[in-house]
A and B are shown apart, each in its own frame.
Chain A
Amino acid sequence: MTTDTAPKPSFWNRLAHPGQFVALTRPLLWPLTIITAALFIAGLWFAFFNSPEDYQMGDTVRIMYIHVPTAWLSQFVYGIMAVSAIGSLVWRHPMADVSMKAAAPLGATFTALALFTGSLWGRPTWGTFWEWDGRMTSTLVLLLIYLGIVALWRAFDDQLRAARVIAVFTLVGAINIPIIKFSVDWWSTLHQPSSVFTMSGPHMPPSILTPLLVMAIAFTMLFLTLHLKAMHTEVARRRLMALQRQAAQTGKTA
């Protein structure tokens, strides 16, 4: 068979090649950065200059514009890791491993920020920084799972072997995501029930919903930008490790 008659690799197959993935996605970084910055400027302007105080919570409602997006990302990032874990275990997709590893520190940071902003919002509204209720405790468990995953990645020298173990661990830990989501329905809790993603639509006025949605999209774009950059770095790091092994085998000092 000549190269002329060889079947062209599909888009997914091209994405599976780390070098081609980086070449295909590198041009996206600057547009993503500009869109993220513009969304943050718009979101912060809405949050501080074009949204009213809440009739019950007063100005502390402005904490919601950073608390809800970070809480949303804490679960969304884990969802990305769980899908990547399936990609790693089922299809052995090399970029799925890279995606899992690059997302973990980002998810841990957003989860820590959700807990931090939540406690600062809780003190003036509930009278306490912390309560061991279902939503807060399950989110703390999520943070511990993230930290465990970050530690596991660092514990293995063989990253391919690490990916299999961590993919299984990630999928087991995914049981915590529906627990976080439904904890406010299953148990008596200080935390308010869902008010954006409900069957009957958002339960808040457009003047408060608009900054919330703009900030949620801004944080999501921030994650996508940082995740993509971190994936490129991880691809480079694996090449570097391969080069260092090659140098050790050929006797050249690195």
Chain B
Amino acid sequence: MINLGPHAVFIICAYAGVTLAVAALIFWTLFDARRTASKMAALEARGIRRRSAGPAA
């Protein structure tokens, strides 16, 4: 690792904070997508489908 000089703590904190926030953003985006898809699958499993999709099998 390179020497970040006397203000290394500020540089490390800035990059760590951005890494955590970006990771949280990615996690939340994927979690929200998966949660919505599983709710949709649960509804369709109970035979509830869009009218345009025709009657449930």
Query: Which residues of chain A have a CB within 8 Å of any CB of chain B?
Result: 48-49, 53, 58-60, 62-63, 66-67, 70, 105-106, 109, 112-113, 116-117, 120-121, 123-124, 222, 226, 229-230, 232-233, 236-237, 239-240, 242-244, 246-247, 250, 252-254
- Verify A116–B4 contact, CB threshold 8 A: no
> Is the beta-carbon distance between B43 and A244 smaller than 8 angstroms?
yes
Q: A239-B50, A240-B40 are in contact. Are A120 and B33 (CB under 8 A)?
A: no
- Let me know if B54 is at the binding interface, CB within 8 A: no
Q: Is the CB of A246 within 8 A of B14?
A: no
Give chain B's interface secondary structure class: helix
- Cα-based distance from A67 to B18 in the complex (angstroms): 9
A48 to chain B, nearest CB (A): 6
How far apart sit A239 and B3, CA to CA, in the bound complex (Å)?
53
Per a CB cutoff under 8 Å, which of B2, B29, B47, B49 touches A233? Answer: B29
A-contact 0/1 string along B25-57, CB 8 Å cutoff: 110111011001101100110111111000000
Q: How far is the CA of A113 from the CA of B5 in the complex (A)?
A: 23
Q: Nearest residue in A to B17 (C-beta to C-beta)? A: A116
Task: Report the minimal beta-carbon distance from B48 to chain A, rounded to whole angstroms.
Answer: 5
Contact call B37/A236, Cβ cutoff below 8 A: yes
Contact between chains at A233 and B33 (CB < 8 Å): yes
Complex CA gap A124/B7 in Å reads 7
